[in-house]
Structure 1
């Protein structure tokens, strides 16, 4: 539940930020009422687009069974992990000019294509956030065992409510809750979740590889534990469970698990060092 709450919270705040910037920009235009209709129409279509993607993903997951389903689910989890890394890098690179670029794109679309261009921009912006949310939540859901659907849904509903509250506080310009602090905190947790999803996907792949006829060395890489810390920090209960859910911790990791985590964090350092430090996307 905590994972779904965080994902919905973070992605909803970003979607609200996009809508808020476009709303403020439209309020300064001559044909405000007409442009507003296109804005809300684009938001609605973006939500429909996200819902359609959710149905497609769920249908595909139900339709595929056996090994094919396991490989599909592993691919979705790994895609979610890659999307997290891409999203954090994108915000670091474009955070300084996010507001300016979005307003400039809205102005260009409005001049070239009229209201339809604004509708398309809003649809794609909201649809992007919604699509990421769908992939992230599906990736979380399929590797969480023993979690009831209502708990997952409750986490999402609480995340949406928290997002609305957070957005209002951020817009109010609170020193305790600033855009800089929000993106820094969410960036750290997202990267930890990215590691968790990577290891969850690797676990599914390992399970499928164990059923294939492969060289003995491969089984050793993916199946043999390098060490066992379950006596002091079990990954199925307490703090160990939290670390497993949010950072990919394993009490008995295989060589493939250790290598994947090390490679992931090296890639994170390399990826983020090439991006400028994140700043408030509300800066002009």
Structure 2
């Protein structure tokens, strides 16, 4: 997965954990170690027993589906390598679950968050850094890992950023003047040498900025503003997409800007936009009051 699909380390760690837990369960369920012959002989009742155990442990349907995806990936690879029939595993259906809708913040709340984030630290360059990070996440629709992967070579920000996202896929993202200006203010105030090959956003001692610090400053800002717990750094990415859609952006372009592999992932934002539309309609229509 690392070599062929460019899978992220977090994905590899999660898949390894899921497959190990599955094989551990099967060893207990079948009463012995899981060598290749035992793995190849897993059948539908064994899969049902594992799924039932997942439910008894209180594992949610979304998590069970992810665990099953990891197991299927492993068996698909192993069966091709060792020449056995993986039908019992590959035909196992994941439990149905409703994907939660993205929870963006309003345009006004996004502006307030950026402003309030800048008030969370007494040290001017750190305050400027926090504003720059949050402005880039919202203004460019980046995942927090993508924003923190920017290097000194990216400053000053150009009109377009080349971002390497999930699976090592690259995409071009336009940079708003507000994001460029925020980064310029941070770079001018930062006391550290922002070498081209080093991280752009630095922690207090000069190392790479920890994403938990960004989450923390967002949490303090949203609590001061009375915003819900869903107002996280990732919500800024949702807000970027939703506000583009509200402004008339087409779904395919938004998919490319977000780096979604599938259009169906991006289509979740149309549901958010429809909810917003109906709420606005209910407030504005005479019969909705």
Q: TM-score range by the shorter chain?
A: under 0.3
Q: Tell me which of the two structures has the higher relative contact order, counting C-alpha pairs closer than 8 angstroms and 6 or more residues apart.
A: 1
| TM-score (normalised: structure 1) | 0.22
Q: Which has the higher helix share?
A: 1
Which entry has the higher C-alpha Rg, 1 or 2?
2
| TM-score (normalised: structure 2) | 0.22
